[in-house]
Amino acid sequence: MGRPIARVEGRLKVTGAARYTADLPQDDGKDLVHAVAVCAAVAKGRITSIDARQARAAGGVLELITHHNAPRLRPVPAQEVLGPAHETLLVLQDDRVHYSGQPVAVVVADTLENATHAASLVRVEYAEERPVATLFEGIDDAFDSPRYAPPTTIGDVDRGLADAAVVIDRTYTTPAQHHHPMETMATTVRWTADEVTVHVSTQTISMVRDGLATTFGLRPEQVRVVSEFLGGGFGGKAAWCWPSVVTAMAARLTGRQVRLVTTRRQMFAATGQRPHSVQRVRLGARRDGVLTAIAQDCVGETSAFYDTPPFYIGAATPVPYGCPNIRTTQRFVKVNCQTPVPMRSPVEGVGLVSVESAMDELAAELGVDPLELRRRNYAERDPNSGLPWSSNGLLECYERGARRFGWPERNPEPRSMRDGRYLVGWGMATAIRHAGSDPTSALVRLGADGRAVVQIGSQDLGTGTFTIMTQVAADALGVPVEMMRAELGDTDLPTGGGSFGSHTAASVAAAARLAGEALRAKVIRIAVADEGSPLSGASPDDVLVDDGYLFVRGDRSRGERYAQILRRNRLQSATGDHTPPPREGATVARWAFGADFTEVKVDPELGTVRVTRHVKAIEAGRIINPRTARSQVIGGVVMGIGQALTEATEVDRRDARITNAGFWGYHVPVNADVPDIEAIFVERDDPHIPGSVKGLGEIATIGTAPAILNAVFHATGKRVRDLPITPDKLL
């Protein structure tokens, strides 16, 4: 624990030996056939006809699936399946079209080329209806959803605003944004009488298993889901979405092993998106900057066909600052789009863009340093629940981040700092993220050769789960890292949770540690009861382990290795496991904290913005591996740069079709856009969290976008309240 070891799977990845879902040769490829989806060219309406004659006559075609012959799916209420099920309950079930890109047919052929060609020959006619293209078109019909968007009310906000010496009342908009991991969605399914085996690029193998079992009327134990390597996932692979469902349909109908890989364009309709939002924020404060009221009223989009709206983007608003009067609300608009899904912090990553921008506007209005304003409003307890923090290093994040960045040298006047012809701006923001975990089981097995394996049915998004599982289990068992191996990504392994919500590290670390400790205790009991062991008769509490060598405290000569104990007792192996106990009610508020400091340079003639350096300080409990943790922070900040400056899903308001469905139009940051990024870890022992491990995945990106917005204002004197910050908004 705490060592910056290299990724244990790193060599496999950089040499190409790691096989991703679309790479896997299934049974030498002899039985493998390919599926290609035909997607709707309209956003709302009915299918009036499907002419598939040419497609069926094309070479190599085995099956063509439409709503006429698709297997009937069980209409499952969303609450029966963990996570956002969205359109999987509707796909190829009727003639309705709910969004552009919805699959309306699937062609199965012997080769990918034949399937692609045949799909291009399918002719679909529609009775088109006028869609709701964006939330602005449907905002008059916005509705409340108390179940999934519970309003927060603390104190009396109206009174707090009335009593304030200064009130900031601003409206901010954030665009829809889409997930773009390097690996697109890929699924391979074999359907036999005994078992359905699914290889899929997913962040949650257990959710895919349960979702497919439920919709196809199977028992969960009849479905095995495997996802060993994942080429990135930011929430879009956290749901069991239509590529997996239609591939399973094809495998069932053909009796063959079927693979479907979405195109980059289809990713815009396969994995959901970060929802478009409009957020009105009102802050009331005394002249000294102490907040008297916070009000955040949000409107977000959901799909036209899904009865359960997504997440509540104002849920974290009450957390960062100690304010006696807080109110948040959210309404939803049904839009002809795919159902929004989490995208690397669906709550704080969107809701705090407006709050942290408004805090900067309040600081400017009061003439108070933005960092000092946040310090004055530090919350001693969680304002929402009233519970004490499990740990909170936010003030130290402020102090260490500011010192490293050089914040005290900032000239507070907008447009006052220059580098030649460029305007220089410095901005900062607070970052918070709920520190959760999922019930996770684990098994650690020790062989007679002294080598061990840790098994958890989790998955590695590419963020280092293989490595931290190996480290933690090796530490708990007391063996060298080189003698421990991790296995994950298979529902046949002990049950793990999904890799989303910044839960993975905390979940797998706790389970791996407890299973490793159980195994160590078991072998120690065997040794002290073995008359042939040098440890015979010792108290188990006095037996220590170092690099696989067990010895008595104070007498290292009295000891032996794990392998010797197992061989002498004729044991081929020994195992230790962990099954999570029932959850108990919360007695503390568990959050990770951080502070972002960023520098931008703006060309005053062209309006272009470049982030030139970024410092992020994070308190996330204890860091298991500083190397993989730093990598998480770099990736998160890069994603935040995209959120602030380049990324937006553009929709044609006439027909609700996405106009930039590809990397040629949807711009993510590239190397030239990324500055020097420095990560500072403010470590804390947190007795309320197993292993003191809080997640890093999402807090790594939270705070970056509002810090950039605030830096752009400092550089230019222009306040942009509509993301992303494109040159036209500054000229």
Tokens for 294? 């916070």
For 239, the 3-state DSSP assignment is coil
CB 711, CB 656: distance < 8 Å: no
Distance in angstroms (rounded) separating the CA atoms of residues 294 and 281: 7
Q: What is the pLDDT of residue 82?
A: 47
**Cα within 13 Å of Cα(569), Cβ side:** 23
What six digits make up the tokens of 118?
């045949």
CB 433 within 8 A of CB 439: no
Contact assessment for residue 616 and residue 596, using Cβ atoms and an 8 Å cutoff = yes
For the beta carbon of residue 79, count every other beta carbon within 10 angstroms. 9
Determine the Cα–Cα distance for residues 336 and 330; give it in Å rounded to an integer.
19
Q: Tell me the torsion sign for CA atoms 38, 44, 47, 53.
A: negative
Q: What whole-number distance in Å separates Cα of residue 517 and Cα of residue 480?
A: 15
The widest CA-to-CA distance across the chain, in whole angstroms, is 84
Residue 182's CB is within 10 A of a number of other CB atoms, namely: 9
CA 693 to chain centre: 17
> How far is residue 314 CA from its own chain's centroid?
18
The reported pLDDT for the residue numbered 148 is: 63
Strands 45-51 and 32-39, sheet pairing = unpaired
**Per-residue pLDDT tens over the stretch 107-139:** 999 999 999 999 999 999 999 999 999 999 999
| 3-class state of residue 544 by DSSP | strand
Q: Is 650 a catalytic residue?
A: no
Q: Containing H/E element for 525?
A: helix 504-528
From 183, 356, 560, 698, the catalytic residue: 698
Identify the residue whose tokens are 């922070």.
633
Asked whether the CA dihedral 124, 127, 132, 137 is positive or negative, the reply is positive
Quote the tokens at residue 671: 């190397």
C-alpha to C-alpha distances, 724 to 61, 562, 650, 705, 708, nearest whole angstrom: 44, 57, 12, 9, 10
pLDDT, position 367: 97
Q: Which residue(s) pair with 226 in the sheet? A: 199, 490
| 484 neighbors 453 (Cβ within 8 angstroms) | yes
- Report which residue type is found at 287: R
Please give the pLDDT value at position 342: 86
What local confidence, expressed as pLDDT, does residue 84 receive?
Answer: 46
Task: Please give the pLDDT value at position 76.
Answer: 66
Question: Which residue type, as a one-letter code, is found at position 77?
Answer: P
Residue numbers of the chain with a pLDDT score lower than 70: 26-30, 76-89, 146-149, 307-308
In tens, the pLDDT along 182-213 reads 999 999 999 999 999 999 999 999 989 988 99
